[in-house]
Structure 1
Amino acid sequence: MIRRYEQWNRRFIKPLWWLVIIGMLASVAVVYERVETEQTTARKVEFVFDYRDLLEISDLQGDPHKFVLDQLDKMKKAGIHSLAVYESTLSELKLSRRVEVFSTHEAMALTQSPISQNENFTYVLFAEKESQQRLQPLIENTFNSLGVRVRPWSFKNQPGMIIEMGMEEALLKTMDPDPITLQMLKEKGFQIVVRMSNRRPFDAANMDKLLAQLKGIGVKRFIIDGETVPGFIDDSHFENIDQMAELMTKYNMGLAAIELLKAPQRGFNRLAKEINYDVVRLHSFTEADGQKLTENLTQQELQDRVQGVADRFVLAVKDRNIRMVFLNARAVKNVDKGKILNPLDALYDSLNGADGALNRVKNAGYTLGIAERFWQYHSVWQPVAKALLVIGAVALIALMISYFVSEATLALFVLGLIGSAGLYILPQTQSMFQQALALGAGISAPSLAMMFAIRTSKEKYSASRQKLGASALFAIGLLLRTTLTSLIGVLFIAGLLNQITYSLVIQQFRGVSALHIVPIIIAVIYYLFFTESTTYSEKWAQVRKLLSSYISVLWVITAAIVAAAGMYYLSRTGNEGQASAFEKLFRSFLENTLGVRPRTKEFLFAHPVFLLGAFLAARYRGRGALILILVGVIGQASVVDTFAHLHTPVLISLTRITYGIIFGSIIGYVIIAVWEIAARRWQAWVKPAKR
C-alpha cells in the first residue's frame, strides 16, 4: 500500500502542473471580465465641495452672503459641480444667516428684561419672512418629536420662537437639510450630495418623506456623516438598516465609501449589500490638507504644493478607483501676514490649467459628472471557473510544499480538496476561505519562482564558464521566466477575489503583509537546506550545526543589519508606508512622466540585483552570486503584492510591473557593464603585478 502510494505520488507532479495551468486559464477569463468592468463602467468622476466649510469661511468675511455667492461662481468655473449639504442644525442655520440664536441671558439683555433664575432656554429670531415660513415648521417638528416645547416669540416685530432647551444642546440637534439652501444650490446648477447621519431616531415614514424631497432636487448619493449609518442600532439588529436600504432602492440612491478611515462606519457593509453595492469610492481632501496651502510659503513652494494636490487627485482616480473627490477647507489666522487666509484659490488652481487635475483626469479616459457605480460583468460560467481556480490553487500550494516534503504531495492535495469542498459550500466561511486560498497561491508562486531560479543558477555555476553575451542573455531570460512564474500567483489572487466588494474596499484582502515576508523566508530556507540532494537526517544535522554554531561579533553585526533592513522593508509596505520628501518628489516625477509609477524597490533594487547575480553565476560561476539572486525575491514578492491591491485597476498594475522589468533590466545591465569593466581593469592590474 505504501509502495503504491509512493508510485502515485511520484507520478502526480505533472498532473498537478496541468491542474495549475487549467486554473490559470479559468482565471484569465475571470480577470478579463474584471477588466471589462473597470474599463467600460463607472467612468465619471465627481468633485464635491463641503458647503458647511464654505459657510464657516464666509462667517469671517465682511459680507458673508456675497462671499458665498462669489465662491459658488468660482467653483463652477473651476470644475466643482457638486456640493455636500449636511442635515441642518441651528448652528448651521445661524452660519447661513437665516436665523439668530440666543441663550436666555443674551435674550434678556437684548430685550432688557429681568433675568430669570429658573430658565435656560434657546431663543431664535428669523432673518426674513421666507426663513420663517420654510424653517419654522422644520424646527418645530424636530423639537416636538424630542418632547421639547416650542412657543412663539418676537422682538421689534421680528418673528421668532422659544425652544425650551439649553442653547448648547439645542444647537446640536439634527434636522432635515435646509430647504432654502437646497433650492438655491439647485437653481445655481449644482448637483447636491447629502451628508446623512444616524443622530436622529430612525423613523421610516419620515425618512421616506425626506428621500422623496431629496429625489425631487436630483440627489443621487449619500455620504455617511459620523461613525454609524442611518438606522444602525448594533451589530445584531439590522431591521432599520434594511428599511433604509429599501427606501434608498425605491428612490435610486447610492452611497459613497470614504477611503482610509481609521475604523469602518458601522452598518455600512450591511447597507451597501442591501442596495446591491450601489457604492462609489470617495477620497477626502481634509481641512488639515487644505491648511498646508495657507502656510507661509514662497510662490514656488506654493506652486509645488498645488501641483502635489493635483497629482494626488489624479493618482486617486487612476490607481484606486476613486470616483468622488471630497474637498474641504477652513479659514486660518495668519499672524505674520495679519490676515485670515483660506485655501480656496489654491484648490481651484490644483484643478485647472494644463497640469491641473481636471485635464489630466480627462486625458486618462474619464469624464466629469455625477459619480456612477461599477456594473460588474459576471457571466454564468464564473462558478465553474471559480471551482477550477480552487482546484488549481490547491495544486499550486501542494507543488510548493513538495519541494520540501515531496512524499506528502498527493496527501496534501487530497486533504486540501476535501477541506476546500467543506469550507466552500458554507456561505459564512466562503470569503475567509477564498482569501486564505488566494494568499496561499500568492505566496507559493513567487516561492516556486525563486526556487527554480536558484536551482537553474546553481546548474550554471556548476557548468563551464559562459561568454559575456551568453551570460547577459541568461540573466534577462532567468528574470523574465522567474517573473512569469510569480505571475501565476497573481492570476489566482485576481480570479479568486473577483468580487466588487474588494474593488470598493468594503472587504479587504487580509494577510497581504505575508506576501512580502513569507516568500523571502521560504526562499532562504530552500537555499540553506534544500539545494543539495541530502536526506532528511542530513538536513536536520545541518540545522543543528547551524543552531549550535558559535556566534561571532560579525554575526551579531550582520544580524542587526538584516533586522534593520527587514524593519525598513516592512515599514515601506502597505498604505501607511513612510517615504522621504525627496522620494515623494521622485515618485511624482515618475507618475507625471510615465503615467504609471513603477515600484522603486523593484526597478531600483531587486531586479537589478537579481540580474547581476544571474550574470555572475553564468559568467564567473561564483557561489556568492546565489545570494544576489536570493535578494531578488523581494522584487518577485512585490510583483504579486502589486496585484493584491484589488482596488487598483488590473491594467494599471500590469503596466506598473512591466515598467519595473524594463527599467530594472536597464539599470541591471548598467551595473553588469560597470562590473565587467571593473573586473577587466582589475585583471589587467593584477597580472603585471604578479610578474
Structure 2
Amino acid sequence: MNLKKGLWIVTIILILAAVPGIMERWNTETNSNTYNMIIPFHEIYELTKEDNIEMGEVLTQLRDAGLTTISFEPDSLSKWEQLDILSKYEVKRLQDIVRFHEDADNLLEDETGFYVTVPEDAYYDEKIQEFFQPTEITIGPERLYFIDELVDAPGANAEGDQEQAEEAEAETEETLDDSSVFDSYLGYNEEIINEVKDYGFEYVLRIENHERTNGQTIQDIINLKDDQLSTLLFSGEEVIGYPDNVKMKNYAAQLEQAGYNFYSIEGTTQLGMPTFAYTNNFDFIRLHSMTVNPDSIAESVNRSVRAVKERNIRSLFIHIPTQNTSKETLEANESLEATLTLLERVPQHMPDQYTLGTPQPFDEIDVPIWSTIAVMLAGMGFVFLALEFIQLMWIRIAGIIVAGILTAGYLVTDMTLMLQAYGLGIAILTAIFATIHAHARKAKPGLKHLMLTYLQSIGISLAGIAIMIGILNGNEFITGFAQFRGVILVYVVPMVVVALWAVIKLVLDDQKHTSENLAKESGKVFLKLANLEVKYSHLIVIAIVGAVIYYYITRTGNAGVAPEFEIVLRQKLEELLYVRPRTKEFLIGFPLFVFGLYVMGQHPKWGRFLLIPGSIGFLSIVNTFSHLHIPVYISLIRTAYSLVLGFLIGLVLILIYRFIYRKVQKLVKAG
C-alpha cells in the first residue's frame, strides 16, 4: 500500500468522526417542524378604520384563516397619534388656531411642551395621567392636556435599573426634548392584548431600545409572561441595552430566566444581537418578514413555503398589503382578502411534516471537542492530497502547517473565526481537487471509465463537504449567527486555478519535466504570455470573457437576479421535485464536466479546457452545503438531483458531439 492510499484511509477514518455531529444536526433540523404566522396589530387596526369593518370580525376571520400570532409594539403618544387615539398640537400652532377664540386665555404661558387631545377611551386617559401628570385645559368643547417636555421620562425610575434612573434624572434637561417625550415608552396595551388573547391568539412583544426606559421595559415584559407569550422580537436597528455589553447580557439573562426565547429576522442586522445570542445559547427562532403580494398570492405562498422548508425559518412575519404592484392604494377589504387568502393557502402548500403552532428554538447540537479535532486532522490529510496537482512538496507541507495553525488557534482561543477560515480553505480545495482529479486518471474510451471518474470526483466532493460541515457545526451556524465566510472566493478561485492549470498543461504538454522544475517552467509560460503582442481580436475575446465572468459573479449569492425564463424553470422544477436543483450545476457545470471527460479521451489538450466551466458544478455543490442555515437533507436532495441530471445531460452532449464529429469527418473525406 502506497502513501497516497494509506493517507486516504486515515483521512476517511477521521472524517467518520464527524458523522455523529452531522447526524445530530440532521435530527435537530428535522425535529423542529412547527412554524407560526404573525401579523402586527397596528396593521390589523388600520383595516378597522373603515366603518364597515369591525375589529372582532377581522380577528375572527384571521384566526379562522390560520393566523396564530399577533405582535404588539410598546405604546407611546406618537403611536397613539398614528392610531387616531389622540392628536398633538405644538404650542405655537395652537396659539395661532385659537388666537381669536374666547378661551384663548386658557392656554398656558409655558412653551416648553405640547398639547394633546384627551382620549375618549378611559384606558389611554389614565395612562397619560399616570405617566405625565398633565395640566388639563379646555378650548370650547375640546379638552386638552399640556405635557411638559422637561418631565421625567416615563419609566426612568424603574426598579432593577436604579443606577440608570439616577443618571437619566441628572441628564433630563440636556437630553429630553419634545420628540423624545412624545415617543417615550408607555408600556404595552394590556387592554388590547387581553382582547386578542380572548380570540385564542398567541402574541409577541416587540422590544425597542430607549436607554432611559429599558429597565421599565424589562420589568413590564417579565410581568406580562404567560402561556400565550413565549418569544420576543427586537424592533429597530439594535437590541435593548445596546451598546452597553454589561446591560445587554444582564437583560438577556433576566429574560431567559423568565422563560423567553427570541426571534432573529432573516437578512436583517440588529446591533448587539450576537451578544444576546451567545448569552442565551442561541435560543433563537429564525423569522422571515414579507409583505403579501396582492397581485400574485401564489408567489407569496411559494416564498413562504420555501422559507420554512429550505432555510430553517420557523416564523413568518406577514405584513398586510396597502398597495398593489402598480402602487395603487388598496381598499381595506382588498387588503384583508389578500391576507386571508395567503393565510389559508400557506398550510395547504406546506409539506406534511410541518404544522402550525408554537415554534421552539432548535435543540442544542452537542459536538464533542474530540470530534472537531478529528475532523480538523482529516482536513490536514485532505489538504495534502488536494495539493498534489501542484507537484511541489513544500507547498503541500505548507498547506498542512496552515491547517495545523488554524486547528491550534481554535483550540487555544475558541474563536469561531479559526473554524471559518479552515472551512473556507477546505471548500476552495474541494472544488479544485474534484475537478482536476479527473485528469490524474488516464483517459480511456467507454462509459464505464467515464462513470468511474465521475463517481470518484463526487466522492472527493463529499469528503471535502463532510469535513467542512463537520467543522462548521453547532447552533450558532444553523441559526445564522455564525456563517460561512468567503462565498465569492469559492465561486471564483477554483475556476481561476483550473484555468491556469489548463493553460500551463497545454504549453508543457509535450515537454518532459520533473516536479522540481514545474514551477520554473510555469514561470516561463507566464512570461511568454505576458510578452505576447496584443491584437484587437484578443481585446474582444478578453471583453467577452470579462462580461461572462461579471455576469457569473453577479449571479452568485442571494442578491443575484435570474432571467425570467430561469425563474419559470426553477418554479416548475420545484413543483416536480420538492427541491429544485441549481441550474448552474445540472445545466452547465456537470454536463460540461462529463463532456470534458469524454473529450479528454480523444483530445486531452482541449478536454482540459472544458473542465474550467465543468468546475462550476463542484464549486456550486460546495457552496450549497456552505449555506449552513439550510437543512442538510435539503442540500443532499438538491445535490443528488444535480449530479444525476447533470450526468444525463452530459451524455446527451456527448451524443450530439459524436453525431456532429462523424458528419464533419464524412464531409472532410468527401471533400
Aligned partners of 2:36 and 2:662: how far apart in 1?
Answer: 60
Report Cα offsets for 1:632-657 as digits up to 9, x if no partner.
Answer: 10111001111000000000000001
Find the partner of 2:501 among 496, 521, 526. Answer: 526
Aligned partners of 2:560 and 2:661: how far apart in 1?
Answer: 38
> Secondary structure in 2 aligned to 1:127?
coil
* Contact 2:37–2:69 (8 Å) recurs in 1: yes
Cα distance change of structure 1 residues 208 and 224 upon mapping to structure 2, 3 Å threshold: closer
* Contact 1:438–1:497 (8 Å) recurs in 2: yes
Report Cα offsets for 1:296-333 as digits up to 9, x if no partner.
Answer: xxxxxx3xx21111000000011110011101125349
Report Cα offsets for 1:597-655 as digits up to 9, x if no partner.
Answer: 1000011111111222222333x446322221332101110011110000000000000
Find the partner of 1:27 among 18, 31, 41. Answer: 18
Aligned partners of 1:414 and 1:601: how far apart in 2?
Answer: 32
Could you tell me which residue of structure 2 aligns to residue 669 of structure 1? 651
Could you tell me which residue of structure 2 aligns to residue 557 of structure 1? 540
Instruction: Provide structure 1 residue ranges, at least 5 long, that are not aligned to the other structure.
Output: 1-9, 144-148, 294-301
* Backbone CA RMSD of aligned residues: 2.9
User: 1:13-162 counterparts in 2 under 5 A?
Assistant: 13-40=4-31, 42-59=32-49, 61-63=50-52, 66-96=53-83, 98-99=85-86, 101-104=88-91, 105-106=93-94, 109=98, 113-114=103-104, 116=107, 118-119=110-111, 120-132=113-125, 136=126, 138-143=127-132, 150-152=134-136, 161-162=145-146
User: Is it true that 1:279 corresponds to 2:284 in the alignment?
Assistant: yes
Cα distance change of structure 1 residues 389 and 255 upon mapping to structure 2, 3 Å threshold: same
Cα distance change of structure 1 residues 386 and 70 upon mapping to structure 2, 3 Å threshold: same
Could you tell me which residue of structure 2 aligns to residue 351 of structure 1? 343
Could you tell me which residue of structure 2 aligns to residue 248 of structure 1? 255
Find the partner of 2:297 among 297, 306, 313. Answer: 306
Q: TM-score, normalised by structure 1?
A: 0.84
Query: Shift of residue 497 of structure 1?
Result: 0.6
Could you tell me which residue of structure 2 aligns to residue 384 of structure 1? 370
User: 1:482-561 counterparts in 2 under 5 A?
Assistant: 482-529=457-504, 532=509, 534=513, 535-536=517-518, 537-561=520-544
User: Is it true that 1:623 corresponds to 2:605 in the alignment?
Assistant: yes
Number of residue-to-residue matches in the alignment:
629
Query: Shift of residue 130 of structure 1?
Result: 4.6
Could you tell me which residue of structure 2 aligns to residue 474 of structure 1? 449
Query: Shift of residue 13 of structure 1?
Result: 4.4
User: 1:365-514 counterparts in 2 under 5 A?
Assistant: 365-378=353-366, 382-408=368-394, 411-412=397-398, 415-416=401-402, 418-427=404-413, 430-456=415-441, 459-460=442-443, 466=445, 470=446, 472-514=447-489
Aligned partners of 2:384 and 2:324: how far apart in 1?
Answer: 64
* Contact 2:89–2:115 (8 Å) recurs in 1: yes
> Secondary structure in 1 aligned to 2:118?
strand
Instruction: Provide structure 2 residue ranges, at least 5 long, that are not aligned to the other structure.
Output: 150-176
User: Is it true that 1:190 corresponds to 2:201 in the alignment?
Assistant: yes
Find the partner of 1:177 among 168, 178, 188. Answer: 188
Find the partner of 1:594 among 577, 584, 601. Answer: 577
Query: Shift of residue 121 of structure 1?
Result: 2.0
Cα distance change of structure 1 residues 130 and 512 upon mapping to structure 2, 3 Å threshold: closer
Letter paired with 2:245: F
Cα distance change of structure 1 residues 199 and 478 upon mapping to structure 2, 3 Å threshold: same
Find the partner of 1:566 among 549, 555, 559. Answer: 549
* Contact 1:609–1:628 (8 Å) recurs in 2: yes
Letter paired with 2:432: S
User: Is it true that 1:324 corresponds to 2:315 in the alignment?
Assistant: yes
Letter paired with 1:307: A
Could you tell me which residue of structure 2 aligns to residue 7 of structure 1? none
Report Cα offsets for 1:209-265 as digits up to 9, x if no partner.
Answer: 312332036311111111111111x2xx3121122112211211111101112xx21
* Contact 2:25–2:365 (8 Å) recurs in 1: yes
Letter paired with 1:176: G
* Contact 1:126–1:159 (8 Å) recurs in 2: no
> Secondary structure in 2 aligned to 1:257?
strand
Query: Shift of residue 389 of structure 1?
Result: 1.1
Cα distance change of structure 1 residues 443 and 47 upon mapping to structure 2, 3 Å threshold: same
| Structure 1 range deviating more: 431-440 or 337-346 | 337-346
Cα distance change of structure 1 residues 371 and 671 upon mapping to structure 2, 3 Å threshold: same
* Contact 2:28–2:365 (8 Å) recurs in 1: yes
Aligned partners of 1:573 and 1:54: how far apart in 2?
Answer: 38
* Contact 2:15–2:463 (8 Å) recurs in 1: yes
Could you tell me which residue of structure 2 aligns to residue 199 of structure 1? 210
* Contact 1:613–1:629 (8 Å) recurs in 2: yes
Aligned partners of 2:391 and 2:460: how far apart in 1?
Answer: 21
Query: Shift of residue 335 of structure 1?
Result: 11
Query: Shift of residue 351 of structure 1?
Result: 3.2
* Contact 2:185–2:213 (8 Å) recurs in 1: no
Letter paired with 2:115: T
